Amino acid sequence: MNDVNYNDVTIIIPAKNEAISIEVVLSDLLSRYRGAEVIVVDDGSTDGTDTIVKKFDSVVLISHKYSKGNGAAIKTGAQSAKNNVVVFMDGDGQHSPCDVEKLLAEIHAGYDMAVGARNSVSQASIGRLLANKLYNKLASWMVGFKVKDLTSGLRAVKKELFLKYLFMLPNKFSYPTTITMAFFKNGHSISYVPITANKRDGKSHISPLKDGIRFLIIIFKVGTLYSPIKFFLPISLILASAGFINYYISYSASGTFTNMSALLLLASLIVCLFGFIGEQITTLFYK
C-alpha cells in the first residue's frame, strides 16, 4: 500500500466538532494514501477540531467562521481541491480509510462516481435503517437501477463532473441524494461498493425531529429531481380513484355528485398537471 502514490486524489473531510475522532482518521489516511491531498473543512467547530488538524502539516485546513452545514462544507472542499478525483468521507470515525481504496479502484475502472454502500448493521437505529431502505427503493424505482445507498456520505467522484452540479447541492445534509439523482439524470455511471460503517465517535448532529422532516424532503427531492411525472402521476391516480369511488357511493346512496368527489377529481387533475409541467422544467434545467 505504501508503494502506491495518490497524486491525483483529493480527500475531503467536512468536520463539525469532531475533536474526538479526527486525529485518528487523519493519521490513518496519511499513512495509507501517500501523495493524496487531504482537506479538512471545519464547519464552525467549537471543540478545538481545528487545533488538532493543525498538528498535521500536510493537511489543508479550511475554516468556516460559523456553521453553514455539511453540504456547504462539501462545496467548499470541492472548489478548493487541486486533483482530478475527489473523495468525500466523514470525520467522525464512521468511514474506514481502508474503504477509500475500493472506491478509487472503481473510478479507475471507468465509473464516474463510486459510493460506499452501508450494510444493515451499519445503520445507527432501526428507524434510520427503515428510512434508508425506503429512500433506496424509491430511488431505484425512479432511475430503473438498483440504488444500494442513496444517502451515503462516503463517495469518490470525478471532480470535473461533480463541479458541474455544485450549484444544485443544498447546504445541509441531503447533498448525497441531490448529486446521485443528478448523475443518473445525465447518464453518468455510478458504482456501489459494499462497506461496513463504524459506530460514530461523539454525538450525532441529527435530531429525530429534524431527521423526520429531512426524510420527507428527501422523498420529495428524489421524485422531483429525476422524473416529476413518475412521482406525481401515481398520486394523481390515487386521488382520481378516490374521487370516482366517492362519486359511486354518493350516487348509489342519494343520486348526487358531492363536493368531495369534485374536490378529489380536481386535485387529481392539478397534481397530474404539476407532474407534466415539472417534467418539462427538469428537462430544460438539465439540458
Higher per-residue confidence, 174 vs 40: 40
Lowest average pLDDT, out of 11-20, 155-164, 245-254, 278-287, goes to: 278-287
Position 4 scores a pLDDT of 66
Instruction: Please say if the pLDDT value at position 101 is more than 90.
Output: yes
pLDDT > 50? residue 1: no
pLDDT at residue 243 is higher than 90: yes
What is the arithmetic mean of pLDDT over 32-41?
96
Q: Is the pLDDT of residue 251 over 90?
A: no
**How deeply is 263 buried, as exposed, middle or buried, from its count of CB atoms within 10 A (0-12, 13-18, 19+)?**
middle
| 72: pLDDT strictly greater than 80 | yes
Average pLDDT of every residue of the chain: 88
Which tens digit of pLDDT belongs to each residue from 119-174? 876 555 677 778 888 888 888 888 888 999 998 999 999 999 999 999 888 888 78
Q: What is the pLDDT of residue 68?
A: 93
Q: Is the pLDDT at 227 greater than 90, yes or no?
A: no
What is the amino acid identity at position 79?
Q
Percent of the chain with pLDDT over 70: 90
Say yes or no to pLDDT of 59 above 90. yes
Buried b / exposed e across 14-52, counting CB within 10 Å, b at 16+? bbbbbbbbbbebbeebbebbeebbbbbbbbbbeeebbeb
